[in-house]
Amino acid sequence: MIGLRKLAAALDSGLRALAALVLALVVTLVMASALGRYLFETPGRYIEELSGLLMVALLFVALAAPGREGHIRVGLIADRTAGRLRLAFRIVALLVVLLFVGIFAWDAADQTLFNLQHGIKTELGGIPIWPWTLLMPLGLLILAIRTTIAFALGRDEATSARDGT
- Cα 9 to Cα 53: distance, rounded to the nearest angstrom: 27
Provide the b/e sequence for 116-135 (b: ≥16 CB within 10 Å): eeeeeebeeeeeebbebbbb
Side chain identity, residue 135: L
Model's pTM, two decimal places? 0.76
pLDDT tens readout for residues 67-119: 555 555 666 677 777 888 888 888 998 999 999 999 999 999 999 999 999 99
Domains of the chain, residue spans: 2-163
Task: Give the range among 47-51, 57-61, 106-110, 160-164 with minimum mean pLDDT.
Answer: 160-164
Mean pLDDT, residues 109-130 taken together:
93
- Three-state SS at 1: coil
pLDDT at residue 7 is higher than 70: yes
